[in-house]
Structure 1
Amino acid sequence: MTAPTARPTTRTASPLPAGPRRAFAILVGLTVLFVFLQSLTAGEFISDGLPESAKQTWTDVHGSIAYPIMVFALAAAVVGFTRLGAARLAAVGAGALFVLSVVQWLLGHTITTLGWDWVTPWHVVLAFVVYGVAVWLSVRTAAMRRG
């Protein structure tokens, strides 16, 4: 009978370079931050008792936060696809987050610009999907950073 061999306890280095992993993590983190900030403003402009000017201000703030979400998600997708070859799933997640955030932004504009209030439930449901993808991507990125 042979004794079991001990496995080495040292961690192997990640096959992904640290610089692109760090850049990707920062871009994903910024995207998630702005998704969170946008969710904080989501209900402010539909509250009863607010003057119309306050509702418009909150609507403008909510809409303006969409731009950094799209920019950072796009940048994360570009870094993911061009620099993180072995982490294709994370790159696809960042690309999906970008596409979903653009669709979300377009739905928001159909509500505010075209007055299509019937789109609001779709906008809200998609917001939860965007939030879920952002959180999943954040967790995936943290796992990549740990190696």
Structure 2
Amino acid sequence: MLPAAMLLLIVLLLVGACSEENTDPDKGNKPPKEKAGVTEETTSSPTTALETTGGSSPPEITLGDDPGGPEVAIRLEGDPRTTFSGLCSVGEEQIVLSGRVPKRFDFDLKGRLLSCRIEKRDESTGDLKVVLVAGETTRSVQQTNSPGSIINVSYKE
């Protein structure tokens, strides 16, 4: 009970100290003084509101050994019918990539190095574009149109 009484006393003291009431006992007996050359400005009172930033989500909390780095993706884009094959390594793990554009491959690095070697397989001169994205940020864009050419990409958080 004592802490509640102390808290109430502190709040009352703060309210009394912050109030704009004039404690001059003679104020009621004096006419208001004229002020010359004073400009009056109207300002809006401060408001408190919840501010949200455009489209951002709250931070995620992870437990365990995940360092919480950004999601990393390799996007393969280009001309229709462009084919590719390749190999990506994440630490000791190896992932085979193959197919036709457009394709997307997501990686969970957990602080490890991502290293990819991607080959344009078809004989056409269509473009193959390899885009490395970490979180919302594009980190690398490489492009080729030569049949059999190789694109190397690596990234570490």
Same fold (TM over 0.5): no
Select the structure that is richer in helix. 1
TM-score between both structures, scaled by the size of structure 1: 0.23
Highest Rg: 1 or 2?
2
TM-score between both structures, scaled by the size of structure 2: 0.22
Select the structure that is richer in strand. 2
Q: Which has the higher contact order (CA 8 A, sep 6+)?
A: 1
